[in-house]
Amino acid sequence: MTAETTSPALVTLEIDGRDVAVPEGSTILDACRRIGSDQPTMCWASTLTPVNVCRVCVVEVEGSRALVPSCSRRVEEGMVVRTDSEAVRHARKVVFELLASAVDLSLVDDSIRAWMAEYGCEPERFGPAAPPSDDRDRRQAGHHRRPTGETAETVHQPVKVDNPLYVRDYSKCILCYKCVQACGPEAQNTFAISVAGRGFDARISTEFDVPLPQSACVYCGNCIAVCPTEALMFRSEYELRQAGMWDPDRQEVVTTICSYCGVGCNLELHVQDNRIVKVTSPDDHSVTRGNLCIKGRFGYEYVQESDEPTPIDEVLARARADS
């Protein structure tokens, strides 16, 4: 005998004047995407529990006193949702502007740029960026500097380059918490990083701000995989960008299976000039769900040992020598 499977009940709601039926337990974001009405997201990931911190996906729900995050709000029968009302557009515009005035969003993907253009974002209206600061990790919670009102405070701090595998540029960090989730209970259970500080001085940090090699980090790189702004970046990508050699348009992505053990993790090899420059894994793969271990994500150097090093090899060799 086989156990009977029961399909989840359907919930019907209205989104921007269109009726849509989705399985019970779906989010408003799920329902929007069911009818091809995508919404901007930065802190949401298909492999992580929504934490509702970026607020760029907010929508208007009839009867609700405030805008709600579509990535986590569950659908209800008869719900009426508006995704493009004046209140929604204004809220998203201001959130994007506040983020862009304080954080370096130069490497966000094209979809975020398109949404910012759609809402006519003008982060410069908050004033020019304040002079760079290098003391964010030493600030005490609750001891905030009084703003001058003439410049826009930023989260700038020096790039942390303390290991040969990846770098941390927290001037690009929007505090989406996805790296903390991936390092913690939702993937790796290592808990090497968390949020330190409060208010504007909040930042991602290792315990007591120790260098990464002295922390609990196991270098799985799963935090890099979920970062939406490239605040966390492969050391290979960072060094090639610094050398002006990083070129995604010339990269080919090759799918293969990790050769280190029998788990069967899918790898996506990003190859430029016949050299592997980084390794990712697809979020929709049933084995990995985007996650890898240190060997799968970084253990590929043996593949490209050569007696005739390329310019890419020379750049990466210098980076390893400096680590």
What CATH code is carried by the domain that includes residue 236? 2.20.25.90
Q: Which residue has the tokens 């020096």?
A: 158
Please report the sign of the dihedral spanned by the C-alpha atoms of residue 206, residue 210, residue 212, residue 213. negative
Evaluate if residue 1 carries a pLDDT over 60.
Answer: no
Tell me the residue ranges of DSSP E strands in 55-126.
Answer: 58-61, 68-69, 80-82
Element (H, E) at 143: none
Please give the tally of structural domains in the chain: 2
pLDDT higher than 70, residue 5: no
Residues in the chain: 323
**Is the confidence at residue 171, as pLDDT, over 90?**
yes
- Residue 7 within a domain: yes
Per-residue pLDDT for 142 more than 90? no
Token pair for 28: 């408003």
Tell me: do 95 and 208 sit in the same domain.
no
Mean pLDDT of the chain: 92
Does residue 294 form part of some domain? yes
CA distances from 322 to 142, 210, 239, 260 (A): 37, 19, 11, 27
pLDDT band at 277 (very low <50, low <70, confident <90, very high): very high
Instruction: State residue 252's pLDDT score.
Output: 97
Which of 110, 126, 142 is a domain's end point? Answer: 126
Distance CA 108, CA 116 (A): 11
142: phi > 0 → left, psi -120 to 50 → alpha, else beta; which? left
Q: What is the mean pLDDT of residues 154-158?
A: 91
**Are both 109 and 170 inside the same structural domain?**
no
* Residue 149 lies inside a defined structural domain of this protein: no
Q: Are 109 and 221 contained in the same domain?
A: no
CA–CA dist 166, 170 (Å, integer): 13
Mean of the pLDDT values across residues 289-308?
Answer: 90
Q: Which domain holds residue 252?
A: 166-322
